[in-house]
Amino acid sequence: MSSSDFRIERNVELSPETKEIAERELRETPERMREAIERLRELLKENDDLYFSDDDEILTIFLRPCKWYPESALALMRRLAEFRRDNAALLDDLVPEHEEEAFLRHKMANVMKGRDHKGRRVLIVSVGGTWDPKKVSADQLFRLFYLIHVASLLEPESQVRGCVVIMDYKDMGMAQVRAMSPSFSKRLLTFIQDAMPMRLKEVHFVNQPYVFNLVWALFKPFIREKLKNRIFFHGTKMSSLHKHLAPSHLPADYGGELPAIDYSGADWYPALNDAIQHINNWNTYGFRK
């Protein structure tokens, strides 16, 4: 079992403050939840080419980012099914064990132990000099993101408050630039913008060198206005980052008041395995075969 610092906060009742956020931002009330869950169950029966569990937990995962509109949640399910079909070679039957070495021996994907000052999970992606594309391919990097996201969907607090991503490009060189192909860029952005049932609130680029412009040129054509408005560039100016993420909730690595990061994806790996039944179930969702 994972330690208390590295665990998926499943089956946790929303805090009073989070309930207020859910009602204000997501239209979430007990009556609306009941009605939306029942209606989405009916829609799934009518759309029998799709297969998703119809238990409350799974339906809520799709209804919250769609503000409890059942038709929108069904559309999200269909987009996820299309994405899984189009990327079957990468995602079919994917479990943490398949990327165990990348989690345990490499340090590209990490999740902060605590949440930020707004109660959001923070994913730190190190795609600069830390990343050796010869040892971990861009496809594997995407699979790491995907597995982390599937597990995080179990957290009610994260469903409501959303998540933040810090993309750290420190010491990025041409090896990393070459690894980020147009196909990788398009796949990642299609997933984020069309098929991810998690509320992505902000994306922060830090420590990006000049060669980052080559990467940005690949990503930019695929970024829609909604996501574009949530992307922020900081370079090495952590004071700029602090306008969005309070230093009191950031590690020293990013000019914060918390201790420097001394943990990695290896510490989170047991938490992913704790969620293995959910991950296995998730692998069955999509178009009926």
Torsion of CA 95, 101, 105, 111, to 10 degrees: -10
Determine the Cα–Cα distance for residues 275 and 151; give it in Å rounded to an integer.
6
pLDDT of 218 reads 87
Lookup: tokens for 211: 């060669």
DSSP state of 161: H
Q: What are phi and psi of 233, to 5 degrees?
A: -110, 130
Taking a C-beta distance cutoff of 8 angstroms, is the pair 99, 144 a contact? yes
CB neighbours of residue 24 within 10 Å:
9
pLDDT of 27 reads 98
Lookup: tokens for 82: 């299309």
pLDDT of 2 reads 56
CB neighbours of residue 248 within 10 Å:
11
pLDDT of 289 reads 83
Q: What are phi and psi of 225, to 5 degrees?
A: -60, -40
pLDDT of 104 reads 96
Q: Which domains does the chain have, with CATH numbers?
A: 16-91+278-287 (no CATH), 96-275 (3.40.525.10)
Q: Which of 286, 277, 226 is nearest to 95 (CA)?
A: 277
Question: Three-state SS across 199-260?
Answer: CEEEEEEECCCCCHHHHHHHHHHHCCHHHHCCEEEEECCHHHHCCCCCHHHCEHHHCCCECC
Q: Please report where in the chains the tokens 């909604």 appear, as a residue.
A: 226
| Element spanning 24, H or E | helix 16-26
How many C-alpha atoms does 49 have within 13 Å on its Cβ side? 7
Determine the Cα–Cα distance for residues 109 and 168; give it in Å rounded to an integer.
10
Determine the Cα–Cα distance for residues 240 and 132; give it in Å rounded to an integer.
28
Determine the Cα–Cα distance for residues 161 and 209; give it in Å rounded to an integer.
31
Determine if residue 92 is left, alpha or beta; phi over 0 gives left, psi from -120 to 50 gives alpha, anything else beta.
beta
The pLDDT averaged over each successive group of 10 residues in the chain (289 residues) is 82 96 98 98 98 98 98 98 98 98 95 97 96 96 97 98 98 94 92 97 97 91 95 98 98 98 97 97 96
pTM of the model: 0.96
Torsion of CA 112, 113, 117, 121, to 10 degrees: 60
DSSP state of 15: P
pLDDT of 4 reads 80
Report the DSSP beta bridge partners of residue 31.
none
Q: What are phi and psi of 195, to 5 degrees?
A: -130, 10
| Cα distance from N-terminal residue to C-terminal residue, the chain | 34
pLDDT of 30 reads 97
Lookup: tokens for 119: 């109660």
